[in-house]
Amino acid sequence: MFKELTQNLNELNSRSEAVKEMIESHKEIVILRHQRPDPDAYGSQLGLKTYLQNKYPEKTIYAYGEEEASLSFLGSMDEEKDLEDVLIIAVDTANLERLDGSLNFKKHLIKIDHHPDREQYGDVSIVETAVSSTSELLYLLMRTWDEEAIDKDTAALLYMGIVGDTGRFLYNNTTELTLLVASKLIKYGFDASGLITKMHQTSKNAFQYKGYIIDQAVFRPSGIAYTYVPKNIMEDYGLSVSEAGLDVNIFREIDEVKVWFLALENEDEIRVRLRSKELVINDIAGEFGGGGHPLASGVRVKDLNELDTLIKRIEEKML
């Protein structure tokens, strides 16, 4: 079954051995992921760390990056040390600008990702956009390298990464292969229900913040819906920009809405978390210096005027 479902994953099939050989040739490995991490970033980063520790106990493996409080139940980052000539593995990061960490101490660099390949980097890269998540891709890699090195902790982390990027298997990036991988992972016996509950646990302030999003929502005749959230509002609710963006899919189940976003004021820019039911939006995000998946992307605009330009550009494509 796996062979049939993965036969078109060309980079996975042709480069997995090269990635394994590069890993085996280094004693110290640092795993990085993108800034403002989501569950797939944390799950793939920490899942790969635990797997490599199991398979190569003689190696030293680090996971670096800023901590994300909402994902602390999955694990924590390592304290950064002065290193040199190490292997860096960048997971779930389409372009180097978004990487949360320095490349100054690298000897070699590997890229493993499922986002559209905006920037080709690394001595070896495996990018497969047909999989739901980097966590799903890593399971497929681990399966070819040494499935016995996957333990309960690794399985739980990869599973939660998949759950995060598929919206609990609701989004259309959930495939037959995704469900097969999830079914294999859940057999390791971790508390999937408990972890998902922790992922969606919310504070009273965060719950009340949803009311603000609804109350201030703008619905355009074109089928675009959005809420602009000023910095002071996030401060009033005690939320970081990352936390304030977690509720972007609050618009998803509205019949009339085709494209939606949250626009979050942050210092000298506005961060836009952009989503769509059917219209491909990552090309438009790219025009504004952003990127992401066809139906889930991110953009930074400098002010409300540029935000209005973004809205008009989306509406042009909707015609």
Q: Is the confidence at residue 3, as pLDDT, over 90?
A: yes
Note whether 79 and 125 are same-domain residues.
Answer: yes
Residues 101-122 have a mean pLDDT of 93
19 and 152 in a common domain: yes
Asked whether the beta carbons of 312 and 318 are under 8 A apart, the reply is no
Question: What backbone phi and psi angles, to 5 degrees, belong to 15?
Answer: -120, 0
Domain count, the chain: 2
The confidence score (pLDDT) of residue 105 equals 87
Whichever domain contains 292, its CATH number is 3.10.310.30
pLDDT confidence of residue 82: 87
- For the cut 90, the answer to whether the pLDDT of residue 36 exceeds it is no
CB atoms under 10 Å from CB of 261, counted, come to: 27
- Nearest to residue 59, comparing CAs of 96, 94, 20? 20
By residue range, what is the domain housing residue 61? 2-198
Instruction: Find tokens 């504004």 and name the residue.
Output: 288
Q: What is the pLDDT of residues 220-271, one digit of tens each?
A: 999 999 999 999 999 999 999 989 999 999 999 999 999 999 999 998 999 9
User: What's residue 117's pLDDT?
Assistant: 87
- Of residues 148 and 70, the one with the higher pLDDT is 148
Q: Is a pLDDT exceeding 90 seen at residue 12?
A: yes
Cβ within 8 Å of residue 211, ≥6 positions away: none
pLDDT digits (tens, 9 = 90+) for 141-181: 999 999 999 999 999 999 999 999 999 999 889 999 999 99
175 and 237 belong to one structural domain: no
**What is the model's pTM?**
0.90
Domain end marker among 198, 233, 262: 198
What CATH number has the domain bearing residue 139? Answer: 3.90.1640.10
The reply to whether 175 and 210 lie within a common domain is: no
Cβ neighbors of 169 (< 8 A, separation 6 or more) are 163, 178, 179, 182
